[in-house]
Chain A
Amino acid sequence: GQQVMQIPQYQHVQEGEDFTTYCNSSTTLSNIQWYKQRPGGHPVFLIQLVKSGEVKKQKRLTFQFGEAKKNSSLHITATQTTDVGTYFCAGQGRRTYKYIFGTGTRLKVLA
Chain B
Amino acid sequence: KAGVTQTPRYLIKTRGQQVTLSCSPISGHRSVSWYQQTPGQGLQFLFEYFSETQRNKGNFPGRFSGRQFSNSRSEMNVSTLELGDSALYLCASSLAGSFTDTQYFGPGTRLTVL
Contact = CB atoms under 8 A, between A and B. Distances in A.
Interface of A: 1, 30-31, 33, 41-45, 48, 88, 90, 92, 97-104
B83 interface: no
Contact of A45 (B35, B44, B90, B102): B102
Contact of B43 (A31, A88, A98): A88
A97 B97 CA distance: 13
A42 B103 contact: no
A101 B42 contact: yes
Interface of B: 35, 42-45, 56, 58-59, 90, 92, 98-100, 102-108
A41 B58 CA distance: 23
Interface centre among B44, B92, B99 (most CB of A within 10 A): B99
Contacts of B92: 43
Nearest to A99: B45
Nearest to B101: A48
A42 B105 contact: yes
Contacts of A103: 42
Contacts of B45: 98-101
Contacts of A48: 100, 102
B56 A42 contact: no
Contacts of A92: 99-100
Contacts of A100: 45
Contacts of A99: 45, 56, 58, 98-99
A45 B98 contact: no
24 contacts: A1-B59, A31-B99, A33-B103, A41-B107, A42-B107, A42-B108, A43-B90, A43-B103, A45-B102, A45-B105, A48-B100, A48-B102, A88-B43, A90-B43, A92-B99, A99-B56, A99-B58, A99-B99, A101-B35, A101-B43, A101-B45, A102-B42, A103-B42, A104-B42
